[in-house]
Amino acid sequence: MGFGGMGSDGLQLIANGIAGSGCEQNVLRDAALAVMGQTHRQGDPAISALPRVQSNAPHDKRAAPRYSLLIRPAKLIFSRGEFLCVLRDISETGVSLRCFHRLPSGSRMELEMQNGDRHPVARIWQEGNHAGFRFLDPLDVDRAIAGQGDFPKRPLRIGIHLPVEVVSPLASGEGLIGNLSQQGARMQTTLPLAIDQPVRLRARHLPDIRAKVRWRKGEEHGLVFETTFALPEFALLAATLQCPALIAC
C-alpha of 39 from chain center: 15
Average pLDDT over residues 25-41: 41
Q: Where do the domains of the chain lie, and which CATH numbers do they carry?
A: 1-41+155-249 (2.40.10.220), 52-146 (2.40.10.220)
Task: Enumerate the β-bridge partners of residue 215.
Answer: 222
How many Å is the Cα radius of gyration of the chain? Answer: 19
| Best CA proximity match to 231, nearest among 12, 103, 71, 18 | 71
The model's confidence at residue 62, banded by pLDDT at 50, 70 and 90, is low
pTM score, two decimals? 0.71
Q: Kindly report which listed range (52-61, 174-183, 208-217, 220-229) carries the lowest average pLDDT score.
A: 52-61
pLDDT of residue 11: 44
pLDDT of residue 12: 46
pLDDT of residue 14: 43
Q: pLDDT (tens digit, 9 = 90+) per residue, 124-168?
A: 999 989 999 999 999 988 888 887 777 667 789 999 999 999 999
Tell me how far apart the alpha carbons of residues 216 and 52 are, in angstroms, rounded to a whole number: 43
- The 3-state secondary structure of the chain reads CCCCCCCHHHHHHHHHHCHHHCCCHHHHHHHHHHHHHHHHHHCCCCCCCCCEEECCCCCCCCCCCEEEEEEEEEEEEECCEEEEEEEEEECCCEEEEEECCCCCCCCEEEEECCCCCEEEEEEEEEECCEEEEEECCCCCHHHHHHCCCCCCCCCCCEEEEEEEEEECCCCEEEEEEEEECCCEEEEECCCCCCCCCEEEEEECCEEEEEEEEEEEECCEEEEEECCCCCHHHHHHHHHHHHCHHHHCC
Residue 97, amino acid: L
Neighbour tally for 32: CB within 10 Å: 25
Average pLDDT over residues 210-234: 96
Residue 94, amino acid: G
Of 63 and 171, more confident = 171
Q: Kindly report which listed range (2-6, 83-87, 132-136) carries the lowest average pLDDT score.
A: 2-6
